Amino acid sequence: MIKTHTLGFPRIGENRELKFALEDYWRGDASEESLQATASTLRLKHWKAQIDSGLDFITVGDFSFYDQMADHIQLLGCEPQRFAFANEQAPLQRYFTMVRGKAENHGGCNHAHGSSAHGLHPQETHALEMTKWFDTNYHYMVPEFNASTQFKAHAGNLLAQLEQAKTLNHPVKVSLIGPLTFLFLGKSKQAGFDQLDLLDQLLPVYGQILSTLKLQGVEWVQLDEPILGLDLPGPWLAAYERSYLQLKTSGVKILLATYFSSTQGHTSIACKLPVDGLHVDCVRAEEDLPLIIDWLPNYKVLSLGIVDGRNIWKTDLNPALQHILKAFDAGKGEVWIAPSCSLLHVPYRFSNDTRVNLQVLPWLAGAIEKLEEIELLKQAAKNQLQGKSLTGALANIWNTHQDLVKQRRNSPLLNNPEVKARISSIAPTADQRHSEFAVRQQLQRERFNLPAYPTTTIGSFPQTRNIRNLRARFRTGEIDEATYWQHISQEIRQAIDFQERIGLDVLVHGEAERNDMVEYFGEQLEGFTFSANGWVQSYGSRCVKPPILFGDVARPKPMTVDVAAFAQSLSEKPVKGMLTGPVTILQWSFVRNDQARATTALQIAYAIRDEVADLEQAGIGMIQIDEPAYREGLPLRKARWNDYLEWASKAFRISASPVRDDTQIHTHMCYSEFNDILPAIAAMDADVITIETSRSDMELLRGFGEFDYPNEIGPGVYDIHSPRVPKQAEIVRLIRKAAQVIPPENLWVNPDCGLKTRGWEETEAALTVMVKATEQLRCELETQNKAEKTAA
């Protein structure tokens, strides 16, 4: 028997309906009823799409107002105590407080008293931490655990969605995050406390939810356990068997879902678990398949994730069909066909898109087109199993599809011989600066003559509605290019004036001209195309429109030189040139699957290298090459780390190395647990790196100190993810803490990340505080120096 399903479906809406409904609601422009109505309409539309494409199940439980992990925190009743919710508070309000935090209501009164150690007022609550979902650009909210964490089932919301789904009279599969993955992805907030100790309390709650679902007539529940694709610590691995034995007693059928990575080393455990089915990612972990076919008992369902849920190319149906047939050949009784992972990570559909290069468009598949591929594969497999081949309309669809797959593979559009020639003749020194860091540092100090603890920002200033609107009007032709740039220049001028006024040392132009730090570069490079509407959720209501990299990458002309030179002309102070690095452009685009990622990264690196050289030529003395996705690109299995780090750091160096010694190269990374890759970060050899550290209270920096990180560092001194304005004393404390582990002469002062998601009011207030805090420390430094001189 063959069945089809999807692990999950994009929930933001084809036209980002959920994003706009959420933002209206948060702004107070829409009621909860209207938000709920949008959610309800979207769920119905998405289930109907699944039914229309012929799926045997619709998936329930993948909808979320913000994030599925946050939903599970409520479902499992483990909202952190620190939120101190009152019982009568409505669940949705509690939910938004958890994911967005709660700002103090200033009311014009400037409290200087009553702050806690972290400077939070009693009415303020910071949001749950947000972090990357495996190696994707999606962010989840991190559950918080300690020894007094308790669990309690609150399935009301889930059951309501189930009721809604039942109105469609189609078999339902409920999708939940599995208990071990849920626990593992959370964070222990208590020193020495291991959250695995909570498992025995958590399992009965899961059991209760599963029993309730069974009672409601649900036959199948999909439990996602993607951590099985990590190098899992022994005790976690050992907990699987007993956990699933316990869940089995609920009587509901469990499909255990793995994805994103090979389960190598624990494939046998996954196959032997007391569950009714196993889903495997045949795109990312194709090498596991022979073992799984061999080891998974034939009476269990094997769900094959054969349509890529992480990329947008039409599936080559022939090898996919072979996987299905092989499973049946081996004696599997029931095989399911699905995308490799949830379709959350791809756009809704491409067929209606108005912007993609018309030659590339037919090669693409968004969520809707992927469901169609799954149905097509099912029909083909069914026929084959009966010894028949496809005929009629289906055969035509199949053949047309395969022709397009072949057409892409052989398309001249993919090839640029000049690019290939350049890559194949890389000079061995192309990734090296002329001199070692110590020499460069001296020259740069002489050139820029900056004060101690130089202050700067990460690049972007608030992307106001005004700016977005301006761009939207330019796109639709309502205003012409000259008018557009006139307004943008005005924004840049204001940004420079603002920075001069508050006294920052190293300025930025503010990135007003950029829709997105990756899309903006992709749009100016050859080898990329863009969708009008190919949005993918990044976190909460925030979305990205990843560029589509289909061919060899080249830079036809300078991309940022005019803007950078203009900004620099407005100030005597250095204004950083601002670029996105090759690894991040690669990681945040949909990239070709017909060539190694390393090769694509190298091509992008050369394009950026040319831009860096042109910026220097135009008199720009500091150039920042952002690599926020450097850590995210790390393979999920450690065995593959070295290979990645080698080509990734090389790609960065290729882009950064054409410059003189006294040109200062900056890089920036956020969201990162860096400590396990510090040598590779040092190997990038950026003169200055700015990193996110404020939320970890500078703990992240300790690694840099212990490792004796040689170059200059700007640890973020305040969290830009919240509108909260930091207090001077907090920033002073953080800089002091940083100066204990990093030589003070190597320290910069800056926020955690760019400010594009913030408003101007809080940005101005926060940066003013940051500058004041720095001035205080400089004063102290001077007094100290004087005292030392007098003593001597």
Ligand X SMILES: Nc1nc2c(c(=O)[nH]1)N[C@@H](CNc1ccc(C(=O)N[C@@H](CCC(=O)N[C@@H](CCC(=O)N[C@@H](CCC(=O)O)C(=O)O)C(=O)O)C(=O)O)cc1)CN2
Active-site residues, by number, are: 721
501 near ligand X (CB under 6 A): no
Pair 258, 289: CB distance under 8 Å: no
Among residues 62, 71, 505, 626, the one that binds ligand MET under rule CB under 6 A: 626
Give burial (CB, 10 Å; 0-12/13-18/19+) of 97.
Answer: middle
Check residue 700 for interaction with Zn ion (CB under 5 A): no
Please check if 19 is assigned to a binding site.
yes
Q: How many CB atoms lie within 10 A of CB 787?
A: 10
Q: Does 665 bind ligand MET (CB under 6 A)?
A: no
Rule CB under 6 A: is residue 753 a binding residue for ligand MET? yes
Name which of residues 608 to 637 contact Zn ion (CB under 5 A): 628
767 is in an annotated binding site: no
Tell which one of 288, 511, 516, 626 touches ligand X (CB under 6 A): 516
Contact 563, 524 (CB under 8 A): no
**Judged by CB under 6 A, does residue 472 bind ligand X?**
yes
Following DSSP, what letter does each residue of 64-76 receive, concatenated?
-SS-HHHHHHHHT
Q: Provide the token pair at 358.
A: 């018309």
> What would the two tokens of residue 701 be?
């920096």
Q: Does 18 belong to an annotated binding site?
A: yes
Which of 787, 711, 783, 777 minimizes the C-alpha distance to 739?
A: 777
Tokens, residue 596: 């190694």
CB closer to ligand MET out of 321 and 771: 771
Tokens 């949909």 label which residue? 590
* CB nearer to ligand MET: pick between 61 and 621: 621
Q: Is 538 in the site for ligand X (CB under 6 A)?
A: yes
Instruction: Return the residue of 279, 378, 509, 545 that touches ligand X, per CB under 6 A.
Output: 545
- Assess 754 for contact with ligand MET (CB under 6 A): yes
Residue 668 annotated as lining a ligand binding site: yes
String of DSSP letters for 721-748: TS-PPPPHHHHHHHHHHHHHHS-GGGB-
For residues 452-481, which are near ligand MET according to CB under 6 A?
A: 458-460
The answer to whether 15 touches 21, Cβ cutoff 8 Å, is no
Q: Kindly state whether residue 588 participates in binding ligand X, applying the rule CB under 6 A.
A: yes
Please, which residue, 364 or 669, has the CB nearer to ligand MET? Answer: 669
Q: Which is nearer to ligand X, 35 or 517 (CB)?
A: 517
Say which residue the tokens 């039914």 belong to. Answer: 51
Among candidate residues 629, 654, 592, 597, the one with its CA nearest the CA of residue 516: 629
Phi, then psi, of 440 in degrees rounded to 5: -60, -45
Instruction: Confirm or deny that 7 is annotated as ligand binding.
Output: no
φ/ψ (deg, to 5) at 337: -120, 135
Residue 230: contacted member of ligand X, Zn ion, ligand MET, none (CB under 5 to 8 Å, by partner type):
none
Tell me which stretch binds ligand MET (CB under 6 A): 36-44, 480-488, 524-532, 753-761. Answer: 753-761
| Site membership for ligand X, residue 346 (CB under 6 A) | no
Contact map string, positions 324 to 343, toward ligand X, x by CB under 6 A = --------------------
Specify the 3-state DSSP secondary structure of 183. helix
Question: Is 340 exposed, middle or buried (CB count within 10 Å of its CB: 0-12, 13-18, 19+)?
Answer: buried
SS (H, E, C) 438-498: HHHHHHHHHHHCCCCCCECCCCECCCCHHHHHHHHHHHCCCCCHHHHHHHHHHHHHHHHHH
Q: Any binding-site annotation on 416?
A: no
Whole-angstrom Cα distance, residue 783 to residue 774?
Answer: 14
**Do the annotations mark residue 265 as ligand-binding?**
no
- Side-chain half-sphere exposure of 544, counting CA atoms within 13 A: 23
* b/e burial code for range 255-269 (CB count within 10 A of at least 16 → b): bbbbbbbbbeebbeb
Tokens of 289: 């398949």
The residue within the footprint of Zn ion, chosen from 12, 18, 544, 670 (CB under 5 A), is: 670
The binder of 469, among Zn ion, ligand X, ligand MET, none, by C-beta within 5 to 8 A per type, is ligand X
Per partner kind, with CB cut-offs from 5 to 8 A, the member of ligand MET, ligand X, Zn ion, none near residue 411 is none
Residue 264: both structure tokens together: 């190598």
The residue count for binding ligand X (CB under 6 A) is: 19
User: How many chain residues are in contact with Zn ion, going by CB under 5 A?
Assistant: 3
**Nearer to ligand X among residue 57 and residue 530 (C-beta):** 530
Q: Does 456 bind ligand X (CB under 6 A)?
A: no
Is 716 one of the binding residues for Zn ion (CB under 5 A)?
Answer: no
130 lies in the binding site for Zn ion (CB under 5 A)? no
517 near ligand MET (CB under 6 A): yes
Spatial distance between the Cα atoms of 694 and 119, rounded to a whole number of angstroms = 13
Chain positions 742 to 781 lying near Zn ion, rule: CB under 5 A, are 753
- Tell me which DSSP letter residue 275 carries: S
Does 511 carry a binding-site annotation? Answer: yes
Strands 220-224, 172-177: pairing is: parallel
The entry of ligand X, ligand MET, Zn ion, none near residue 306 (CB within 5 to 8 angstroms by kind) is: none
Q: Based on the shown chain and the rule CB under 6 A, indicate whether residue 465 belongs to the binding site for ligand X.
A: yes
Specify binding-site residues for 5-methyltetrahydropteroyltri-L-glutamate: 16-19, 132, 137, 542-543, 588, 632
Residues engaged in binding Zn ion (CB under 5 A): 628, 670, 753
Binding residue positions for Zn(2+):
668, 670, 692, 753
Q: Which residues carry a binding-site annotation for L-methionine?
A: 458-460, 511, 626
Q: Which residues bind ligand MET (CB under 6 A)?
A: 458-460, 517, 578, 626, 628, 668, 670, 753-754, 756
Query: Which residues belong to the annotated binding site?
Result: 16-19, 132, 137, 458-460, 511, 542-543, 588, 626, 632, 668, 670, 692, 753
